């Protein structure tokens, strides 16, 4: 399936947050949304998932306008992982993941529903937590469970808001490798907000850099991640290297700090 975002505009009150955002992602692709805090990444994901209603624009999956489909049908298209876990969620890990099957259940859970939930837990190394209460888990463990729930939903498109937040380096790599493998093996698509540009470079087919609610640059990692774009979007001086054909970023200094240092040196 193809996700096509066309001319999305969104305001909070009179404050424009998204300004004519258009993006596309095809089957078997991962699109990462990058940009500083407040650039509109989370708002765009919420517009895609219909948590927020855009003032203008459309979100299409193939020929389906998502604003025109019911919530149950929407859940067949999209699996959403929020940025933070709910604070009160008195269910076991197994039952939490099993909630992903809700769009597919007509009367009662089938054996396939239960088997699929356990298979996802195993694949994410969470089976040992199956009978633990979700509320008792660490922040990183909760994040992995929410990703497992979205995968158990069997959507065509994964929408992930900072899926590696609260995860240590090892688990960041494990989770993004899992998402990448699922996208390739099952022909899914994924759009995710990320802060770590090096992880975005390694695991994304495309990157869209947002600045103040607009797309500053979009394309393949080596087209988007360069010293000029990072300077303009993040206000940081960097050096760019390459590993396994992908760019990696070495941050040098904030531009403001450098200019302030020069001013101090001139005064002295």
User: pLDDT tens, 227-265?
Assistant: 999 999 999 999 999 998 899 999 999 987 554 445 434
Cβ count within 10 A of residue 14:
5
Strand partners of residue 203: none
| Calpha distance 21→215 (Å, rounded) | 6
Number of H helices, E strands in the chain: 10, 12
Q: Which residues of the chain have pLDDT under 70?
A: 87-88, 257-268
Report the CATH number of the 3-267 domain.
3.40.50.300
Question: Chain-wide mean pLDDT for the chain?
Answer: 90
- CB 143 within 8 Å of CB 163: yes
Residue spans of the domains in the chain: they are 3-267
Query: pTM to 2 decimals?
Result: 0.88
Residue among 253, 255, 251, 213 at smallest CA distance from 232: 255
Cβ count within 10 A of residue 260:
11
User: What is the structure's pLDDT at 262?
Assistant: 53
Residue among 266, 241, 265 at smallest CA distance from 252: 241
């Amino acid at each position: 399936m193809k996700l096509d975002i066309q001319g999305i505009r969104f305001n909070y009150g009179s404050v424009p947050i998204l300004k004519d955002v258009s993006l596309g992602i095809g089957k078997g692709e991962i699109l990462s949304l990058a940009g500083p805090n407040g650039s509109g990444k989370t708002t765009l994901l919420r517009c895609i998932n219909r948590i927020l209603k855009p003032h203008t624009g459309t979100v299409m999956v193939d020929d389906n306008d998502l604003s025109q489909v019911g919530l149950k049908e929407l859940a067949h298209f999209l699996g959403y992982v929020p940025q933070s876990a709910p604070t009160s969620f008195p269910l076991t890990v197994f039952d939490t993941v099993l909630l992903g099957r809700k769009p597919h259940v007509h009367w009662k859970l089938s054996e396939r529903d239960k088997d699929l939930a356990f298979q996802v837990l195993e694949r994410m190394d969470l089976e040992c937590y199956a009978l633990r209460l979700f509320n008792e888990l660490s922040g990183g463990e909760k994040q992995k469970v929410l990703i497992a729930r979205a995968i158990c939903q069997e959507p065509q498109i994964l929408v992930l808001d900072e899926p590696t937040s609260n995860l240590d380096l090892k688990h960041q790599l494990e989770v993004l490798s899992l998402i990448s493998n699922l996208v390739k093996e099952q022909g899914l698509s994924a759009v995710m907000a990320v802060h770590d540009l090096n992880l975005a470079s390694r695991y994304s087919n495309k990157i869209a850099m947002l600045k103040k609610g607009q797309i500053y640059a979009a394309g393949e990692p080596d087209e988007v991640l360069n010293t000029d774009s990072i300077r303009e979007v993040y206000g940081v001086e960097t050096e760019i290297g390459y590993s396994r054909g992908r760019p990696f970023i070495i941050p040098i200094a904030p531009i403001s700090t450098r200019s302030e240092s020069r001013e101090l040196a001139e005064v002295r």
